[in-house]
Structure 1
Amino acid sequence: MSDGQKKYEFKRKLEELREKTGRGTELVTIYIPPDKQISNVVAQLRDEHGQAANIKSKSTRVNVQSALDSIMARLKYFKNPPENGMVIFCGMISIGGDRTTMETIVIELPEPITTYMYRCGSEFVLGPLEDMLKEKKTFGLVALDRREATIGLLKGRHIELIKHMTSNVPGKQKRGGQSAKRFQQLRLIAINEFYKRIGDSASKIFLEVDHKDLQGILIGGPSPTKEEFIGGEYLHHELQPKIQGVFDISYTDESGLYELVDAAMDTLQNLDLMQEKKLVNRFMRELVSDRNLATYGEDNVRKNLKMGAVDTLLLSEDLRRIRIYVKCTSCDYQYEKTVQKPDKLEACPRCDKALELVEITDIVTELSEMGERINSTTVFISTDFEEGEQLMNAFGGIAAILRFQTGV
């Protein structure tokens, strides 16, 4: 399984957990770091089980103790925690009306946790897992000219505007009554003051980013503004070595941040964002070329996967669909289709007997596995940038670059 697919499935699992709720304090969450002894965890759970006997509400008492019993039963299968630790979620989940069901979910983690945690509540504690999904690699962005400046951060695939500033620098035409020399002197003072304001604001923003996560700083604008800003060393001295490039851009408002990232494509070539941009742009070029090596939409991509024609499978991270497999309980009637959520099943159209739902599969998982069987490369595309958003909205979030023409 690729790293992209692991991340997608981890994200989907968190979405499912976020929707699960219980009554009172019946849902139990346990975070177990890799260096924690399982025997110590079980000992604490036994202690918690005994203390739960003091809960006044009988239903809450029974449900909490049942959850603890279920967790201790699961822990018998572990001599030690997995390499990165583990999280166990357990409790009586509300499933509508007055109905509940006991669920126990064990998650092995994509990166290590360091803190042991035991919590009971009406919801599962997901904060530490959600932090794992946050992009850590960060670039500082400054787009400036003498009229305005915009400061932002590139976090993984997401560009975040932090601050927009305007200057008091007068235009090049002097006011009446002022000598040209005096006017030029005042103008240079105003430019210097504006650069200082930009440097102070950018330094404050960038220094708040963990130094291990701040990969570099990109500065863009027209000439000679950006060179003056760099040469004047207006950024904090700790940030000066982080400057990785100076780029010509036309805009210095929020759109200038996006233009700056595009201009820095070579500098950022190892980022997932740039790899994804390149692939989507390649797909777009193939789509309008005469080579017929691109296709999109679930049906067409599925057919090409079955023919072994898919070289690169592009799937939007925002895809939320499932494939259902239904068959009749009496005759041989069956069908499969893709839906957002399972509908209520009607009677069999052939024999009027009941239909049953045999299997539900996440469409992303299914298509990824089909691609894996024919050695296709599967890439998950974020919607945090324009090309990724276009893939989702215009092409349904499913596209492919082909190895050979198929006519499909």
Structure 2
Amino acid sequence: MSSTDSSQLQQQQQQLAEWKLQRLIKSLEEVRGGGTSVITLIVSCKDQLTRTSAKIAEELSVASNIKSRQRLKLYKKTPPNGLIILCGEVGDDTTSRGKERKLLVDFEPFKPVQRSFYVCNSAFHLDPLRELLTSHERYGFVVTEGNGCLIAEVQGNVKKTLFRLTASLPNKHRRGGQSALRFDRLRAESRLALVKKVAEAAGEVFLQKDATVSVKGLVVAGCGDLKNELKARLDPKLQNVIIKMVDTAYGGEAGLDQACDLAADALAGVRLVEERRAIGSLLEAATREDGAIRHAVFGTQEVTAALRLGACGRVIVWEGTELEAVTRRHAETGEEKVDIVAPRVAPVVQTERDGGGNGGGGGWEELQRVPLIEWLDREVAAKGGELTLVSDRTPEGLQLVRGLGGLGALLRFGVQAEVLESFEESKEDGGDGGQERETRGGEEGDDGDDFF
């Protein structure tokens, strides 16, 4: 495996780990226990399990209730990235007394934990888990033009505007006669005043109180020589962290997006840039004119059909999707299939009309229900493809979510449109044991005890 493939695999694994942690945090936010029956235990990668176990032993009455000591005994030493244990007798805000259940979750985080933490309360302490999702690599952007400037930062897949200034520099013109020199002087003074103000604002935003720079790198973007004049006026500490100077045709948010694209080579590894690049390649493949040959597919039906064909090279899915993959088996024939359903849809009993078999009217038994992303991760890996999770924080991501169903795939080879359609029809007819369907409607089902 090449270094590039290894890096892509590591990035894919980290994206999936972050998604699982986000889902876990969301599931635990409303969970409550009685008194101090809920324990949050975080063991630093530098800490020893024996010391942590001895600390819990001091509160033996609580520890025997939630079994955290027994769980620690399963680990001979602290994992490389540390250890997180969440356990207790819990319900939720609407659960009445007597309906509590025991909950125990233990895992090694996807990146090292630097601080140990132990607290007993009526709710889980989730702030240390949220910190794991925070990217510490922040990049600053200064976009300036004749109508003003925009100062922003990009952290992971989040961009945030920190300062905005509206201005109106006078344009160059040939009028004025004897006053032409005065007009040029006034224009130069206005330009200098704008540059000074932007440089001061950049210093206030990106320099901390101890004069250290708060971003890993700085991109200065703008029209013509204006950005060069700005660079000369910036604080020397900010000048030292400039990683790219780019020419943009726009200002404001549009200029920021363009600057991200133009500085992509200097921002390698920044998730926002990687997301835009991935979706851009998908949309470009979709518009490729090649007769009836498809190079990209969108939506659950087309993507699952392409997966069955082994044609998916890269599957791109919105990280916020709530769709689930439900594996069902026919009670009479033993046939199994996978339905892509909306969350909390009750199991559907299907008859012969729905591909239920030989007229016996038998139903489908639900075997497994997992999030769509988890199912895609398994299926795409089995077919030798790559799974990429994206957000809706970029214009391209928003287009994928709102206009294309939040799911698309870049095909490793062209596929005839009629071949895809035939696979979709075979799914609807119930002709294949590995079929996938998209189901809507139904009544709300029970979440069950294991909501992770």
TM-score using structure 1 length:
0.84
Distance in 2 separating the partners of 1:377 and 1:346: 32
Q: 1:220 maps to which residue?
A: 221
* Structure 2 SS opposite 1:401: strand
Task: Give the CA deviation at 1:162.
Answer: 0.7
Question: In structure 2, how many angstroms separate the alpha carbons of the residues matched to 1:363 and 1:282?
Answer: 23
**Deviation digits for residues 241-261 of structure 1, max 9, x if unmatched?**
212222222332233222222
> Cα offset for 1:377?
1.7
Q: 1:404 aligns with which of 413, 419, 441?
A: 413
- Counterparts of 2:363 and 2:316 in 1: how far apart (Å)? 38
Alpha-carbon distance between aligned partners in 2 of 1:168 and 1:355, rounded to the nearest angstrom: 68
- Residue 262 (str. 1) matches residue 292 (str. 2): no
Answer with 183-192 or 361-370: which moved more: 183-192
Task: Please state how far the C-alpha of 1:352 moved relative to its aligned partner.
Answer: 9.3
Deviates more, 1:192-201 or 1:207-216: 207-216
Residue 354 of structure 1 and its aligned partner are, at CA, apart by 9.4
Name the SS for the 1:223 alignment partner.
Answer: coil
Contact 1:34 1:82 in 2 (8 A): yes
**In 2 relative to 1, CA 354–295 (structure 1 residues): closer, same or farther, beyond 3 Å?**
closer
Q: CA deviation at 1:90?
A: 0.9
Q: Which runs of no fewer than 5 residues in structure 1 stay unpaired?
A: 53-63
Change (3 A) 1:332 1:113: closer
Q: CA deviation at 1:97?
A: 3.4
Farther-moved stretch of structure 1 (6-15 vs 193-202): 6-15
Q: Distance in 1 between matches of 2:182 and 2:27?
A: 67
Matched, 1:372 2:381: yes
Deviation at 1:179, TM superposition (A): 5.8
Q: Per the alignment, do residues 360 and 347 of structure 1 end up closer, same or farther by CA in structure 2, a change over 3 Å counting?
A: closer
CA distance in 2, matches of 1:211, 1:321: 45
Report the Cα offset of residue 303 of structure 1.
1.9
Given that 1:8 and 1:317 are in contact with CA atoms closer than 8 Å, whether structure 2 keeps it comes out as yes
Give 1:356-395 correspondences, 5 Å limit: 357-395=366-404
Residues 1:150 and 1:380: Cα distance change in structure 2 (over 3 Å): same
CA distance in 2, matches of 1:181, 1:213: 42
Match of 2:243 in 1: 244
Equivalent position of 1:111 in the other structure: 111
The answer to whether the 8 A contact 1:92-1:103 is kept is: yes
Distance 1:66 1:355 in 2: 40
CA contact (8 A) 2:39 2:121 kept: yes
How far did 1:120 drift? 2.0
Match of 1:309 among 305, 308, 311: 311
Moved more, 162-171 or 77-86: 162-171
| Other structure's SS at 2:310 match | coil
Superposed CA RMSD in Å reads 3.2
Q: Which moved more, 1:106-115 or 1:254-263?
A: 254-263
Q: Secondary structure at the match of 2:216?
A: strand
Structure 2 unaligned spans of 5+:
1-8, 353-359, 421-452
Specify the SS of the correspondent of 2:325. strand
Residues 308-344 of structure 1: CA distance to partner in whole angstroms, max 9, x if unpaired? 1111111221222212234577996976422232334
Pick the aligned partner of 1:297 from 296, 299, 302: 299
Partner of 1:36, secondary structure, is coil
Of 272-281 and 237-246, more deviation after overlay is shown by 272-281
| SS of structure 2 residue aligned to 1:238 | helix
Distance 1:121 1:254, change over 3 A: same
| Equivalent in 319, 322, 325 of residue 324 of structure 2 | 322
Residues 5-404 of structure 1 correspond to what in structure 2 (within 5 A)?
5-50=16-61, 66-67=65-66, 70-95=67-92, 96-98=94-96, 99-167=99-167, 181=181, 184-208=184-208, 214-230=215-231, 233-289=232-288, 290=290, 291-326=293-328, 336-345=338-347, 357-404=366-413
CA distance in 1, matches of 2:52, 2:270: 40
Moved more, 82-91 or 115-124: 115-124
Distance 1:317 1:90, change over 3 A: same
SS of aligned partner of 1:124: coil
Residue 85 of structure 2 contacts residue 107 of structure 2 at CA under 8 Å; is this kept in 1?
A: yes
Q: Is the 8 A contact 1:328 1:348 kept in 2?
A: no
Superposition deviation, residue 25 in structure 1: 3.4
Q: Deviations over 1:262-286 (max 9, x none)?
A: 2323433553333332222222122
- Residue 375 of structure 1 aligns to a residue whose secondary structure is coil
Deviation at 1:371, TM superposition (A): 1.1
Q: Secondary structure at the match of 1:293?
A: strand
Cα distance in 1, alignment partners of residues 48 and 282 from structure 2: 50
In structure 2, do the counterparts of structure 1 residues 76 and 140 end up closer, same or farther at CA, with 3 Å as the change threshold?
same
On the 8 A contact 2:376/2:387 being kept in 1, the answer is no
* C-alpha contact (below 8 Å) 2:320/2:391 kept by paired residues: yes
**1:185, distance to aligned residue in structure 2 (A):** 4.1
Structure 2 counterpart of 1:56: none
Task: Deviation per CA, 1:60-86: give whole Å up to 9, x if none.
Answer: xxxx7512xx10111111122211111
How far apart are the structure 2 equivalents of 1:279 and 1:319?
18
Give the paired residue count: 391
Q: Which amino acid aligns with 2:378?
A: E
Which is further off, 242-251 or 296-305?
242-251
Return closer, same or farther for 1:241/1:282 CA change in 2, 3 Å cut-off: same
What TM-score, normalized by structure 2, do the two folds share? 0.77
